[in-house]
Structure 1
Amino acid sequence: MVIRLIILDFGGTLAEGSINWDEYHSSIHEYLRGLGFNVDLNELKGAISAALRLLERVRSREEELTLEEVYAHALSKLGIPESPEILEGIHGLFRRHFKTELYPCVERTLESLFRRYRLAVISNTMSDNPRVFLNQTGLNRYFDLVVCSRDLGIRKPNPKIFQHVLGRLGVEAKEAVHVGDEPETDLQGAQRTGIKAVLVDKGGRTQDWSGPTIRSICQLPEVIEELSRADP
């Protein structure tokens, strides 16, 4: 098969991300009090929990909200008027509290693939953290396009997010490979779009996938080479 484009998931594929939600929400509480809003911490956490439940309902439809939309919903429950400046401050706190660590081999793998293929990222996230991280580390130089689900209001496995990338880059589905660690979003989304998929199964836990599988991103160039040699 002729491969022109490799689409990569971000979290769980290229990097590991984590956040202490209690610390993050406490920092929002301090931030709001600093702005003059006398908000009870428990009431704030309750409003945020309700907003996150709304997010899950939206995501169950393969749609996405932005972090700003989620926290605007929470603040409205507390009578705090919607303000782009306040919401950007809350997003900034999220970026500060969210820890991202690249997996081994990532830069070497990207450098190898970049020589022969176009590269893109599709990440399911309400934040812009993947794009910010790639920009800050300089890894954005390898990618033609970085798409976060918040950008479009849709998320994997919705085929529209894959089709958006294909359309932007002028590539047909049969010329693309998607690489990710989540069977329900990455594999199903790629298959529904007609894109070949590669599973990153770090723990060897996925039993019902017979397609190409790697344990580490380090193995990806070899698997892509095998797919390139395969019959169409």
Structure 2
Amino acid sequence: MQHITDVFFDLDHTLWDFEKNSALTFQKILAENNVAVDFDRFLAAYVPINLECWRMFREEKISKKELRYQRLFQTFAAINFKASDELINLLSEQYIQYLSSFNHLFEYTEELLQNLQEKYKLHIITNGFRDVQQRKIEASGIASYFEHIIDSESVHVKKPNPKIFEHALALANVNPENALMIGDSLEADILGALKVQMNVIHVDFDKKYTHLLCPIVHHLTEIEELL
């Protein structure tokens, strides 16, 4: 990867520890609203349901509003807890409100960004909602590292749609052969970026994947070794 000039990162699950911050947010809002559920059971149900809802949202099968409602509605149903629409909507709003108040980054995130910034232009491409993602980036103290933050809500298409990558490349004024995409999602980040001939690195903290599409790293420290 000797000709790389621009590095594009995914945010959630790649730099920003979504699962940890999400769990802390739910811990706060469920307690504040006296929702008497077994927290571990709630979280175990929510995580896969949330991922599936995001997949459907990415594929344009549900709306932003439906995503926010359904992931909680389905979670409460899965654990046999009767939750009113009023409670679900309240928790949905509070979740978005408080999520960016917890800002745990994956180990070595700031060191990596600081080191890469000396040689490359850094950017973000995220499928998250514009206002939420911006708050996460600013509150976690990493906003200054990035020249461009491209979110799917602004571009009106989501990864892996080639249009969001093409928009990002045009905005950064870089050719795909000189650009590197780093992300955790095989479908959204890796296959999406490969469609436009970008270089890619797959971040797989949980060691779930084995493929020959691109280099796979299990810790952020390995990225610098590849570059």
TM-score, normalized by the shorter chain, greater than 0.5: yes
Amino acid at match of 1:95: Q
Out of 93, 98, 108, the residue aligned to residue 96 of structure 1 is 98
Deviation at 1:55, TM superposition (A): 7.3
**Count of aligned residue pairs for this structure pair:** 190
Note the 1:63-212 alignment, pairs <5 A.
66=64, 93-97=95-99, 99-126=102-129, 128-212=131-215
Letter of the 1:111 counterpart:
Q
Residue aligned with 1:190, SS: helix
2:26 and 2:144 mapped to 1: Cα distance? 34
Give TM-score, length-normalised by structure 2: 0.69
In 2, distance between residues paired with 1:160 and 1:109? 28
Query: What is the CA–CA distance in structure 2 between the aligned matches of 1:58 and 1:15, rounded to whole Å?
Result: 20
Preserved CA contact (<8 Å) 1:55 1:70: no
Q: Give the SS at the match of 1:146.
A: strand
Bigger Rg, structure 1 or 2: 1
Distance in 2, Cα, partners of 1:66 & 1:165: 22
Q: For residue 64 of structure 1, report the CA deviation from its aligned partner.
A: 8.6
Q: What is the alpha-carbon root mean square deviation over aligned residues?
A: 3.5
Percentage identity across paired residues of the two chains: 22
Instruction: Report the CA distance shift for 1:175/1:97 in structure 2 as closer, same or farther (over 3 A).
Output: closer
Preserved contact between residue 162 and residue 196 of structure 2 (Cα < 8 Å)? yes
Which structure 2 residue ranges, 5 or more long, are not aligned?
35-51, 70-88
The aligned amino acid for 2:5 is: R
2:19 is the counterpart of 1:8: no
TM-score by length of 1: 0.67
Please give the per-residue CA displacement for 1:15-40, whole angstroms capped at 9, x wherever unaligned: 2114369779979x99xxxxxxxxxx
In 2, Cα distance between the equivalents of 1:22 and 1:15? 17
1:91–1:162 Cα change, 3 Å: farther
Q: For 1:58 and 1:11, how far apart are their aligned partners in 2? A: 16
Structure 1 residue identity aligned to 2:96 = F
Once the 2 structures are TM-superposed, how far is the Cα of residue 138 of structure 1 from its aligned partner? 2.8
Q: Output the CA distance in 2 between the equivalents of 1:127 and 1:93.
A: 15
Change in 2 beyond 3 A, CA 1:171/1:207: same
